[in-house]
Structure 1
Amino acid sequence: MNRTEAREWVVKMLYQYDVSRLPISKIFENFYKENDPGEQKEYIENTVIGAIEHLEEIDKEIERYSQNWALNRMPKIDLAILRCSIYEMQYGNIPVNISINEAVEIAKKYSTEDSHVFINGLLGAFVRDKGLEEGKSNDN
């Protein structure tokens, strides 16, 4: 499994957590029954757990940059994509441009026709406002 596939699984797990509120251990268990994350296991687990641990702060950032879109009105998959990307940029060690590009591509694959534009705009505003450099994460 490569990092792009792992990131898609992070988004799927965050989505599943949001809609089911299953314990994260159960979500991991279900994933490992049918998938071998290989070298990506640490990234997947750290990102999912980290995003959930920082969910309140991440959601405040999403609300701040979503320009009058209530979280409960957003597609759940878009929320999962945004949560993954903001976690990566704010708390992880993932370059900003990679995180945004991957988020946009995941949105094109799994969400509505125009979601990638919304996600790109929101994440771009987040990066500009936070002073994150292109190609760098908050931890670099």
Structure 2
Amino acid sequence: MQARHVSRELALLSIGQLPSKPEKIQAQQLQDVLLAAIRTLSTEVQDTLETASAEVARGNERLLSSETRAIDVQSARAMVNEALELAQTAINRVGAALEIPEFIQLANQKEVRAYVMELLTNVQANRVEVDQLINASMVDWQMHRLARIDQDILRIATTEMWILGVPQKVAIDEAIELAKRYSGDEGHRFINGVLRKISDRLSGKAPLEPEGAEIVEESQESGVSS
């Protein structure tokens, strides 16, 4: 794994479990970030499996009470298919959890820790402005209606493009990979569409950003490879 890829994934998984104030994030130790990431994965797996189990139960009840009516059989089949998709999502989360030992080894690299902290600090420090830009780039949708994991993927990518000066294509491609791994089936397509619109705004192809924030025109070198 590349250093920045590991940093992005750790930032995504830990951000919901860490303090929201930038100065408190700076005080966190690396083990705090890793523990937060593990807790997030564990919670995601448990919640997803519980939802999948409930869907299977609902589908089974529908089948038993359907008396072979076609509409009920189709509904039950849809429930079971949904449960299978949720189970697959949970399996993906378990797969990610199995990579935690590799994360721990890589996270000990100074460049990984440095970029994790840079991401977490800047996402929280610029959260209001970043959320405004994301909301302005969505059509008939709002941030608060998205799953938390999708919100954070968008925040990280937007912060990279807008605040940290990461090349837009790199930030978008990395966000898509995170979405494929942690979001729903169509999540990566939605996130790609929103980030493309944000990229157009930052490139001057669409009305620009909310007031009170500046665009970083040139990539800032931090000594960590993308």
What do residues 2-27 of structure 1 show as CA deviations (whole Å, max 9, x unaligned)? 2111111111122334xx85953458
Larger radius of gyration: 2
Contact 2:163 2:216 in 1 (8 A): yes
Cα distance in structure 2, aligned partners of 1:60 and 1:117: 21
* Corresponding residue for residue 137 of structure 2: 65
- Answering whether residue 196 of structure 2 is matched by residue 128 of structure 1, we say no
* Corresponding residue for residue 13 of structure 1: 14
Q: How does 1:19-58 map to 2 (within 5 A)?
A: 24=25, 25-26=27-28, 29-31=31-33, 35=104, 36-38=107-109, 39-58=111-130
Name whichever of 34-43 and 122-131 sits farther off. Answer: 34-43
* Corresponding residue for residue 81 of structure 1: 153
* Corresponding residue for residue 102 of structure 1: 174
**TM-score in terms of structure 2 length:** 0.53
Q: 1:21 to 1:113 in 2, by over 3 A?
A: same
CA drift at 1:46: 1.0
CA drift at 1:138: 3.5
Contact 1:92 1:139 in 2 (8 A): no
Q: 1:82 to 1:119 in 2, by over 3 A?
A: same
CA drift at 1:70: 2.2
* Structure 2, unaligned runs of 5 or more: 36-100, 206-214, 219-226
SS at the partner of 2:32? helix
CA drift at 1:32: 5.1
SS at the partner of 1:116? helix
Contact 1:10 1:47 in 2 (8 A): yes
Q: Given residue 89 of structure 1, which amino acid in structure 2 is its aligned partner?
A: M
Contact 1:63 1:71 in 2 (8 A): yes
Number of residues of Structure 1 aligned to a counterpart in Structure 2: 135
**TM-score in terms of structure 1 length:** 0.83
Contact 1:9 1:44 in 2 (8 A): yes
Contact 1:16 1:27 in 2 (8 A): no
Q: 1:28 to 1:68 in 2, by over 3 A?
A: farther
Q: 1:114 to 1:49 in 2, by over 3 A?
A: same
Contact 1:91 1:139 in 2 (8 A): no
Cα distance in structure 1, aligned partners of 2:164 and 2:204: 13
CA drift at 1:59: 0.5
